[in-house]
Amino acid sequence: MNLRLHAFEPASRANGPGLRAVVWFQGCTLGCPGCFNPATHDLRGGSESDTVCLAAEILASAPQIDGISISGGEPFQQPDALLDLLTRLAGSGLSRLVFTGYTLDEIHRCRLGPEILRHLDVLIAGRYDASQRVAKGLLGSSNQQIHLLTGRHNLAELAAAPPRELILHRDGTITGSGIHPWRHLTD
Ligand code: SF4
């Protein structure tokens, strides 16, 4: 199934508990003022990807990683691809965490929302509100909510995730990510 992708990182420590693959979906219409990643907003931006290939790449790394985090952009604005990707990872033993700008109540009313929630261990939910910025413990702002949907993780594990990281790839490129990325260090 087609997926509009912003970026993929096979191994990150700043996007959830433990070592995780991270998928950033492309496209978000929620328009939070001060969003830290506006390059993810354009629904036609990023690149065309495929859930079959993405799932295969993640599963190939499964022995070395603890889980997968899905962020954006807004993952729930591509619900078919989100559900398909999660379904392909079911049974892998990987922990599954999603960052979303929607609240849990809104997701319950989204198409495929309840089905998607059944695949998740953790949901970090709510619009980013720059006036309540905290940028730690995987929360961008204090109004956002952490929902532990299974007993797999606890709040202390999530709070222990580093706020930022730089990943040096074999080809010499560098990826920076995290809830308090390097460009905000002077905030
Ligand atoms: S929901 Fe997330 S990606 Fe979308 S505007 Fe808000 S902070 Fe940015």
Summarize pLDDT for 118-146 with one digit per residue, the tens: 999 999 999 999 999 998 889 999 999 99
In a domain, 186, yes or no: no
Other residues' Cβ atoms within 10 Å of the Cβ of residue 182: 12
Instruction: Report how many domains make up the chain.
Output: 1
Q: For ligand 1, is residue 35 a contact (CB within 6 Å)?
A: yes
**Token match 């308090």: residue?**
180
Residue 96 falls inside a structural domain: yes
Residue 164's domain spans which residues? 2-181
122 close to 158: Cβ distance less than 8 angstroms:
yes
Q: Is the CB of 126 under 6 A from ligand 1?
A: no
The rounded distance, in Å, linking the Cα atoms of 115 and 84 is: 11
Question: pTM for this structure?
Answer: 0.94
Say if ligand 1 is within 6 A of residue 40 CB: yes
Q: Give yes or no for a cis peptide into 73 (omega within 30° of 0).
A: yes
Q: Which two tokens stand for residue 51?
A: 């859930």
The 10s digit of each residue's pLDDT in 74-120 is 999 999 999 999 999 999 999 999 999 999 999 999 999 999 999 99
**Cα separation of 3 and 142, whole Å?**
30
The answer to whether position 37 is within a domain reads yes
Examine residue 170 and state whether it is found in any structural domain, yes or no.
yes
If one residue of 128, 145, 179 were mutated to test the ligand 1 pocket, choosing by the most ligand atoms within 8 A of its CB, it would be: 128
In a domain, 89, yes or no: yes
- Strand 95-100 with 67-71, pairing: parallel
- With the most atoms of ligand 1 within 8 angstroms of its CB, the residue from 15, 37, 43, 76 to mutate is 37
Residues above pLDDT 70, as percent of the chain:
96
Domain annotation covers residue 187: no
